[in-house]
Amino acid sequence: MNSSELRNLLSLVACVKKNQGLPVASVMKITGISNMQALLKLLESIQLFGIPPFGPDDLLLYRIEDNRLFIDFPSQMHLTNHLTQDEIETIRKIITEAILNQSTEELAGLYSKIMKIPFSVEDPFESKRILIEEAIEEDNSIQFLYKTLASKELEQRIVDPWMLFNYKGITYLIGYCHMRKNTRNFHLARMDGIEILDEKRTKTPPSDVKEIIKATDIFNTSKGYTVKLCYRAEAENSLNFMLHLTNIEQEEEWHTAECKIRDTLWFVALLRSYGTDAYILSPDHLKNRFMEELELIEHQAKNNK
């Protein structure tokens, strides 16, 4: 999102928050958007703006009724908004551009104060990243416990680490796994108890390691398996935004659709956040797993009363 688009988005959210039911014509005038298609594209980007997708209660959802725009804001608006570093920097640039067009001493003073505001982006996996980077620099192997999507138990792995890389906000490690005796990618969030071993790497990074990364399943969005969902009509916007739904069939209250899933743990956690507003129709193994988790949550809730 460039600075112009972000400026439009911030203006739109602020205006509608104070004036729910603002006429669409007024919204287009405020944002400088001249056609409905561009406006709808901007509205789609509102849903996950500034927050991780914890659940439906954290989303900014919009609806247009009688040519008037309404935005449903998160239920916990008093909490700090989680902006990414890129979003913070873009906002600073917008403020800078706006203020530099003025010449008053008051605005100059305000600008000076704004630029002194400290901010930090917390990295929950920083300690893991530091250990892995140290091992890569020193050419050492590492040992850690790892949980794959297919296994229920943690497995101990010894790996010659090659490179850390990021895709869609998720950090991965690529390296040679001595257990699998082949090149493997590891999801950093699923790596626990990382230790740097005294042994040096026996498999050094190949010269084309970046090409190997590009050829992995992580970047191949065509892979995965198909899941069929049933959900309440009002949940469609947020589900479609995150899952890119296909073959949507609409009825009055409940809709069905399909989506392509590669990360089972992430998908089940996401769908669980919708409570009774969404459930899995197929495949059977995932449907049964999802129902078992819901039953376990219900059982734990009853025991905690």
Q: Per-residue pLDDT tens for 34-77? A: 888 888 877 776 665 544 444 444 456 677 877 888 776 654 44
pTM check: above 0.75: no
Give pLDDT, residue 141. 96
Nearest to 187 by CA among 171, 202, 199: 171
pLDDT (average), residues 234-260: 87
pLDDT at 120 over 90: no
107 vs 14: CA distance, rounded Å: 21
**Model confidence over 132-187: pLDDT tens digits?**
999 999 999 999 999 775 566 788 999 999 999 887 667 889 999 999 899 998 98
- How confident is the prediction for the chain on average, in pLDDT? 76
- Note the Cα 290 to chain centre separation in Å: 21
Query: 289: which 2 tokens?
Result: 């797993």
Radius of gyration of the chain (CA): 24
Could you check whether the bond before residue 74 is cis, i.e. omega within 30 degrees of 0? no
Share of the chain above pLDDT 70, in %: 66
Name which residue leads in pLDDT, 160 or 15.
Answer: 160
pLDDT (average), residues 188-210: 91
